[in-house]
Each structure stands twice: as structure tokens, then as C-alpha cells.
Structure 1
Amino acid sequence: MRTFAACLWFGCCSLIGLPGVVQADSRGDELARWLNERGQEVFGPLPQPCDDLTFARRLYLDILGRVPSVSELRDFQSWGENRRNRLIDQLVFGEGARADTYKRLSAQQFARQWRRVLLPPGTTVVGSPEPLEAWLREAFANQTAFDQIMQDLIRLETPVYYQQLGSLPENYAAQVSRVALGVRLECTQCHDHPFVDWKQQDFWGIAAFYSDASRSVAAPNASQPAAEAGSIRYEGMEYPAKFLWSDAPLEKAEQAPRTRLAHWVTAADNPHFSAVAVNRFWQHLVGRGWFADVENFDLATPDQRRVLDEFGQRFADSGFNIDRLTAAICKSAWYQAESGSPEDVSQAETFVRTLKVNSPEQVFDSLEQSLLLPISRIDPTAPRWSGDRIQLVSRLSETTGATPEDYASGIPQALLLMNGKITSDAIDLQRSRLLRAVLDSPFFNQRDRIETLYLAVLTRRPTTEEQTALAHYLESQDDDAARQRAYGEILWALLNSPEFVLCR
């Protein structure tokens, strides 16, 4: 009903041309233009765009969680001037010949991203996070609106998140406030916050909505009174349930308290929720939040929030449509800008994208794509099913940063990529599918082979200096066998370059 009403409302607005009203914009093009225009008030002049191959690499990594194949790159480069928007529409909305694959990979990538938001590195977790990620994956695959996803979490429609946080009301209250509203309340559990206005009653007021949660999760079908989650005791004090930014305790009503909390948090006119949401999606796609401190959004000043609040309202007006928001950000000049190091970002006079670190899953999936690894369950050499994937992801996860721009890889992680089985097989002439495809192609010369390795692994062509140096290296080999081994050494160097684990 809401979807129909929204369509009718937007359709009427476009007919009568009401000023200041967000028009229907299913592909995000109008929102992208708005981001370009209003973003200049925050970031300065529109930035220089990155090259096409860099754009394709970051889009495939951000939307599908892997680098593009060489054939996908060649398809992309054969399109016309509007190739970037066409690629965005294909990957975000799941279109074209590979639509089913793109939809599956996109849901998987966004589920991983939001699982990390819900369970950031360092969180004490009970059990495996896989059930939570599976639930998120289904929600994204079904194109569930963002407010509905968060409502289901707040109402405990799926108990896995609550259980993984130890089945404690105070743990869940802290995470719900952080994820949905950008407020860190946990230090007010024992005392009022020393530096900001949050009080103990604010923390326990949210926790009170979950005072009965353990019983609800254990017996979800039991008949329970609607207002039972109305208060909670801590150190002899009784704290009534209440919303944040309000001193009044929750009044009794027919609607269950957690349902009321879910509706209040995700309401279209709650700027805290919508602005925090777009800030998190912006961080995922661009690398750094529109307001950089995404976990402490309540510290943003009115001036810092001015444009971001309007951005969030436009997200709410779209019915919290995730695909439209994603497409709009990707079509904006800010997403497509050239990237640089943190020093470049801080010193630049114009907007520069920050380099992002690929997640452990992105690293494996990119290896799988670049190296043409087998993916069949019945193939005993497939790393996805042989245990190699688990080992790689587990080891890389040990140094996963809190934000996309944190790079903290250590020696064990580097050694695994240098000497692990996946890399060893990749440079073995008998086992490497990529090397065999490159070396056995009858139409390739030496320059083509070097270029294809670069495109497959780093999604770019070698520079003139790189091409010249590698050509000299190959020509210095004594015979054909040595020259073939040298191609494996080139591939090893590309896989172990910092560039491979970064989204530039």
C-alpha cells in the first residue's frame, strides 16, 4: 500500500510540478545530480574523474564484491559515452545477460557489509555470524526497503542478532542505538556521560524495550501482554522505557513497546535515522562518511548536518529504496573521483576519494575471479570448498579495520598471500588456469600477455615503464621454459602488490 501511495504521490507531483518536491527517480539520476550540486557546498568544486578501468574496478568491488573479469572489462569499454551509467544500472539493478549472477553477488556483498556494521571488528559474538549474514542476504535479495530491515531487527523479528550479542538487553540497546541512530550510549550504562548530554536513563530507557527479550526469543509464540517490556532494573533503580531525545517515559498503548520503538526510530520524519543511513551507505561506497565519524553522528554540528539531513530525507521520500540510493551515489562525481592516500585526501584542495581496503571476502572472491579458479563443489581443487577460502578469510579477518580506509595487514597475512596454496597454484604452469589461458592463446604476443595479466589482477593496463621493464625481463630468459616461468613470477608480483588488496 505504501509503495502504491508513493508512486501515486510522486506521479501527481511530476504532473503538477510542485516546487521543492523530490520527483520520481527510479534510477537515481536526479538524486545524483542533486548530490553533485549540493555536495559542492560541503566538498568544494567537482573533482576530476578517475579513468574508466579504475571506475569499473571500484564498482565491481563495491557492488559485487569482486574485481571484473577481462571479458566484462572489454564489454564495458565497447559501450558508448554513457557506459558508466549503463554499468551502474546493470550491477545495481541486476540487468543484462548476467542479471541473475549480479543480483546474487550484490545481495551477498551488501549482506557482508551490513553484517560488519552490526558486528564490527572486536565485538564479542556468541556463535557464528553466518545466520545473521544469511538473513541479511535474503533481505537484500528480496529488495527489502531499508527501514523495514531495521524495523525487523529492532522488533526482534529475527533473534539471531540478539543471541549473538549475548542475549542481554543492554548489549542490544547499545547496538541498536549505534547502528540505527549513530549514537554511542554504552559508556552511560554505569554513569552519565562526562562530555556529552547522554544520561544513564537514556541508556536504560532503550534497554527497557528489551527487558523481556530473552523470554520472547526462547518462546516466540507464547501469549504475552503488549506492554510487558516497559521497564528494567539496574543496581536497584527502575528505568522506564523511553525514546532518545525525550525525558518522558513511554506511555501505555495497545501497540507493543518494541513495535513503537521500531516505528519511531525508522519514521520518515526522524532525521537521525535517515541521515545516519545515507552516511553509512556513503562510507561503504566512497570510503569515508559524509560526516566522517559515522559511529558518533550525534556529535555532528547543525552546519555539518545541513545538507546530509536533506540527503537523508530524500532517501526517506523514496521509501528507503536501497538500489536507488546506491545508484545515485555511484553516478555522482564524488564516487567517480580520483583516489589518493590519506595524506592526499587531507592535503588536497579539491575532493579526493580515499583508498579503501578490500574485505577478506573481497580478496578471496577477487582471487577466484582473477585466477579463473574452479568453483564446482565436486572439484576437489576448488578453494571455495576445500577449506582454503576459510583459511584465507579467517587469517585476513585478524587485521580487518574498523573503517574501509583502515589498512592493518601484518606479516602472517602477507605471508599467506605470498606463499599460500592459492598463490602457489596460481603461478604453477600445470595448475594455473589463468597462466595457461594467457600462454596458450594463439593470438597473443608478449605485450598482450602482460596486459591481460594486469587487467585480470589489477584491472588496469601496465604503464609504459612497467611494460618496458617486464619485456626486458622476459627477453633476458634463456629459453621458452624459463620465459613461461617468468610469466608466473610476474603474476606472483601482481597478486602480492598492495594494489591488489585496495579499491582505488
Structure 2
Amino acid sequence: MGKSTVRALALIASASVAFIVAGPDRNVRAQAVDALGSGDDAKAVILSETDSRGDDLASWIDVRGRTAWGDPPEKCDDLTFARRVYLDLVGRVPSVAEIRDYRELGDRRREMLVDELVFGEGPRRETYLRLLAINLARQWRQVLVPPGTAATGPVGNLEVWLRDAFSSNRPYDEIMADLVRVQSAADAGGYYQLLGATPENYAGNLSRVMLGVRIDCAQCHDHPFTDWKQEDFWGLAAFYGDLQNFNQNPDASRGVGGGKIVYEGDTYSAKFLWQSEAIDDPGRTPKVRLARWLTAAENPNFSATAVNRFWQMLVGRGLYADVENLDLATEQERSFLDDFGKQFAADGFDVHKLVAGICKSSWYAAKTMEPSQSVDAFQRELKVISPEQVFDSLEQSLHLPISRIDPNAPRWTGTRDQMVNRLGEAIGESPEDYASGIPQALMMMNGRITSEAIDLERSRLLRAVIDSPFFDEPKRIETLYLAVLTRQPTAEEKETLAEYLDKKTNPESRRKAFGEILWALLNSPEFVLCR
């Protein structure tokens, strides 16, 4: 399914309902930064060292964004923001109770909600900090092992390793340095082993993930479209010449240690990208030297690629859209990224502060819009939520049991794995891609979770909504919308559904009608999109 189809489906998200009927104060700081205007002075804003919550970074992003794009677009409404930030940060939609608490936070509710989700500033501290680490780990596991990668084992250990790193808010450069410095196939969550345990596979992936450079095409010959040479690729792979290559192909590379590797009879010495001479620093091992160079604050591709990936995860499209071919970007296309990367490095590569700063910015809060053909325009498109986010949102919305000892908890009975695997078959290469087909649609329409969700005897959500003595029918409909779509029904939807219920004169059929409405909401395109 193409992007244009996704946008069309989003515009008619409520059509599924029709179908079933028919059948420190950031504002003060921001004003001070805004006074600088949008010229060179704005670019030079130095963020306060005491800004531990990303407020000053958000102000910097707002000002720098005006330099690049002009005035920010109209902001989304509060409930859209809540759904967006819950999905992006903790990997699921908010509960009705969380929505009500959010509405009571006052005028600064958006900034306060980000502080709750990122820094645990609230009564749900342990839950949010745990879910944030899990969600960041899932997203970065997908960066490290993209969909379609022929991984040589389960990715669970890698995801646990990433979760522990994000849970303690380890600096981004330290996390990546651990990946670079691996001494065995089991280090850093077994990432080397997952990629096939060959120096060339590992080196190619590190350059893609951390530098935004796809150098793989230079493995067998000089790159046909860029300046990368074969010696550039094997010079990077040579850093891992001391790790075992399990490839049985007689033509495969063979490491000889000491920062050297042999491929097709030629010996290559370790060297950094963009440098013509081999590295000679006997005081440190080759991989330590590589880690120091690659993750240095002075390495523009490292910090720029990092913020580009986080921006893509949160906003849907990178500041430079082709996140893994940053070497093809022009100086103008890299301008914002390079400035942003310097801020990230100056902040000590603080992931939590970066995430909070982006989410508190006016650009993150912008309404979803039609994509622009101009590369200079700000882009905020619909995002498709991941298979794990689909399940976790269903679990939250439907009040599914979550205890390990509960025999009906789908998280532990294999139902979750089945759903994630099936939905994962159609996962796109970026958050804006939606490739769902018939098997995925059938999983949502007729799967066990959906079937039980509309069963009056088994659905916790329906029982809570229908049996509540405090709810009238309009309130029941509103609660279903909040629980599933994180929004109020429109006036047209209220009228249509009221007419539909009025046709159900039998009390039992009227009760069942709420299950049909819930089914329509769960199967609307809106449920699997982050708007």
C-alpha cells in the first residue's frame, strides 16, 4: 500500500464506523530566544548547562527551524499530541485515565507530559521509565537489524542490551562505542554474530548506522555512483580482522590481526573513512582507535546521523530524508543537521534530553500535513505504528490481562508473538511507509484479540463501558473513542452512531451494537497510524 493510499485512508478513518452502521518555564526562555530572530545569531544560541529537561533545546530547535523553513505550521490539538507522544515515547496509546490526568495538567500540559514520559516526573514514574527504555530499544534494534535482514539468530539479546543502556540513559556515543569495540561475537548483545559474524558485514553496518554512509557497494569494486573505493570498504573491515569469520566460502575475507585483512589475495590495512593513510597508533588497539574517531564530537557525520535518526523516529522523516546516504547530501541540506549534531554533542550525547527537546518543539507538535515536493520544506507526515506498538496499544485499549500467571494473557500465551510476526511481514523501511496486505488486515479483523474484544462476556473494555451506571450512551461512545483512537467522536460520527443504536430496539442487540462499534474503531486505518 503506497503513501498516498495511507493518507487517503486516514482522511476516511471514520468510514469504518459508517460501514458497520450500514452493515523551569520554557515559555520565558523561548521568548528570549525568539528575540534573536532567525538569522545567524539564532544559530549560535548556547544552551544552558542546567537545561536537563530539554526546554532550551526545544527553543533552539524552534528558532533554527524558522531559519530553515519559516514559521512553524499550525499545532495539532491536545489529544492528537497525547496519542502521538505516548506512541513515540512509551510505545502505546494512553489509557482513558491517563488522558483525563493529562487534561488536568494546565496550560503547560504538553511539556509536563513529556517530562513525565521521559524523566518519570509523576506518579507513574517506574512504569514510564521502563516503557521508554523498552520502546527506544525496539526502535534502535530495528535500526541495527533492519526489516529483511537475514539475522543469524534471535534479536532478543540485542534488544535487552539496548534496553539496559537506554534505561540508565547512557550517553549515545558510549553506547555506539561499545558496538565498535566488540572483542567477541557475544559482546554488545551479540550484534556481530547476528550480522553473520564477518568483518565485512559488521563494518558495512556500522558505517550505515553511525555515519549515514552505505559503503557496501565498494566491497567488490569501487562504488559506481560515489567516490568510495574498494580500499575504503576493506580499510574499515580491517579493524575487525582479529574477529573470527565463520563464512566457509574460500573466497571470503580472512583477518590476520593487527588491523589487517586479506580479501582475494590483497591485504588491506585499517583506516578511517575519508582518510587516505593507514592508521599507525601502537598505543591503542585498532577497534579502540576506531571507536574514538567514529564517536568523537568532532566527527560531523556521527552526531548528524544520530539526530537525523531520532528526528525520523519522532517526526516521521529525517531532516535529511535519506538517513543512510548522508554522504550524498549537499551542504545546504546538511546545514540544519550539522548545527543540531553540534548541540547534541555539546550536551554530552544525552538521549533523554534530545528526545524531550524534539518532543517539546513546535515542529514536533505540528499538524500532520500533505507532503511537500520541496526538499526545503518541513515535513510532518502520517507514521505507521510498529507491530509491537499495535499489540501494546490493543493491550492498553482493551484492558487485556497482562499477568504471567493468567492463562488468558495474550502477551504470554503466544498470541502476541503471532500478531507481531504477522504484522511484521509487511513492515515498511521507514515510519511513513505502510505495506499492509490481506493477511495483516485479516489478523486485525478476525484475530483472537479482536474477536474477544467484541464479545460481551469476555471483553473487559465493553463490560466496563456498557455496565457502568454512570454512563449514558453518548458517554459510552465517547469512552470507546478515547480508549481506541485517543479522540472525541465528531459531531457527524455521534449522529450516525446514535441513529444506528436507535434502530436496535432489542436490549441485547443494543448491547451487542457497542461491540460492533468497537470492532469498527479497532479496524479503522486511524488505529494503526500516528497522526
Q: Which residue of 2 aligns with 1:206?
A: 236
1:265 matched to 2:299: no
Q: State how far apart, in whole Å, the 1-side matches of 2:119 and 2:290 are.
A: 32
Q: Which residue of 1 aligns with 2:497?
A: 470
Q: State how far apart, in whole Å, the 2-side matches of 1:313 and 1:350 are.
A: 22
- Preserved contact between residue 69 and residue 376 of structure 2 (Cα < 8 Å): no
1:243 matched to 2:272: yes
Question: What RMSD, in angstroms, separates the aligned Cα atoms of the two structures?
Answer: 1.6
SS of residue in 1 equivalent to 2:279: coil
SS of residue in 2 equivalent to 1:232: strand
- Cα displacement (A) at 1:351: 3.9
Q: Which amino acid aligns with 2:339?
A: E
1:459 matched to 2:509: no
Within 5 Å, give how 1:368-379 maps onto structure 2.
368-379=395-406
Q: Which amino acid aligns with 1:299?
A: L
Match of 1:129 among 148, 152, 155: 155
Distance verdict in 2 for CA 1:159–1:364, change over 3 Å? closer
Distance verdict in 2 for CA 1:406–1:382, change over 3 Å? same
Q: State how far apart, in whole Å, the 1-side matches of 2:273 and 2:374 are.
A: 38
TM-score by length of 1: 0.92
Q: Which amino acid aligns with 2:86?
A: Y
Distance verdict in 2 for CA 1:445–1:345, change over 3 Å? farther
Equivalent pairs counted in the alignment come to: 474
1:189 matched to 2:219: yes
Q: Which residue of 2 aligns with 1:308?
A: 337
- Preserved contact between residue 94 and residue 103 of structure 1 (Cα < 8 Å): yes
Q: Which residue of 1 aligns with 2:424?
A: 397
Distance verdict in 2 for CA 1:344–1:207, change over 3 Å? closer
- Preserved contact between residue 190 and residue 200 of structure 1 (Cα < 8 Å): yes
Q: Which residue of 1 aligns with 2:253?
A: none
Distance verdict in 2 for CA 1:269–1:349, change over 3 Å? closer
Distance verdict in 2 for CA 1:347–1:474, change over 3 Å? farther
Q: State how far apart, in whole Å, the 2-side matches of 1:346 and 1:427 are.
A: 43
Q: Which amino acid aligns with 2:281?
A: K
Q: Which amino acid aligns with 2:215?
A: L
Q: State how far apart, in whole Å, the 2-side matches of 1:347 and 1:465 are.
A: 35
1:175 matched to 2:205: yes
Q: State how far apart, in whole Å, the 2-side matches of 1:61 and 1:333 are.
A: 18
Q: Which amino acid aligns with 2:214?
A: R
Q: State how far apart, in whole Å, the 1-side matches of 2:71 and 2:401 are.
A: 46
- Cα displacement (A) at 1:235: 0.8
- Preserved contact between residue 345 and residue 354 of structure 1 (Cα < 8 Å): no
Within 5 Å, give how 1:9-28 maps onto structure 2.
21-24=46-49, 25-28=51-54
Consecutive unaligned residues in structure 1, runs of 5 or more? 1-18, 217-226
- Spell out, residue by residue over 1:97-152, the C-alpha distance to the aligned partner (whole angstroms, 9 max, x if none): 10000011000000000000000111110010111001101111111110000000
- Cα displacement (A) at 1:480: 1.0
SS of residue in 2 equivalent to 1:233: strand
Q: Which residue of 2 aligns with 1:42?
A: 68
SS of residue in 1 equivalent to 2:399: coil
Match of 2:521 among 465, 476, 494: 494
Moved over 6 A (4+): 347-350
- Preserved contact between residue 45 and residue 350 of structure 1 (Cα < 8 Å): no
- Cα displacement (A) at 1:308: 1.3
- Preserved contact between residue 210 and residue 229 of structure 1 (Cα < 8 Å): no
- Cα displacement (A) at 1:243: 0.1
Q: Which residue of 2 aligns with 1:110?
A: 136
Matched-pair identity in %: 61
Match of 1:63 among 83, 89, 92: 89
TM-score by length of 2: 0.87
SS of residue in 1 equivalent to 2:272: coil
- Cα displacement (A) at 1:43: 2.4
SS of residue in 1 equivalent to 2:278: coil
Q: State how far apart, in whole Å, the 2-side matches of 1:142 and 1:252 are.
A: 33
Q: State how far apart, in whole Å, the 1-side matches of 2:373 and 2:316 are.
A: 14
Distance verdict in 2 for CA 1:197–1:460, change over 3 Å? same
1:414 matched to 2:441: yes
1:277 matched to 2:306: yes
- Preserved contact between residue 465 and residue 471 of structure 2 (Cα < 8 Å): yes
Q: Which residue of 1 aligns with 2:464?
A: 437
Q: Which residue of 2 aligns with 1:32?
A: 58
Q: State how far apart, in whole Å, the 1-side matches of 2:374 and 2:341 are.
A: 28
- Preserved contact between residue 76 and residue 366 of structure 2 (Cα < 8 Å): yes
Distance verdict in 2 for CA 1:495–1:182, change over 3 Å? same
- Cα displacement (A) at 1:286: 0.3
Distance verdict in 2 for CA 1:189–1:61, change over 3 Å? same
Consecutive unaligned residues in structure 2, runs of 5 or more? 1-43, 247-255
Q: Which residue of 1 aligns with 2:177?
A: 151
- Spell out, residue by residue over 1:384-406, the C-alpha distance to the aligned partner (whole angstroms, 9 max, x if none): 01111010000000001110000
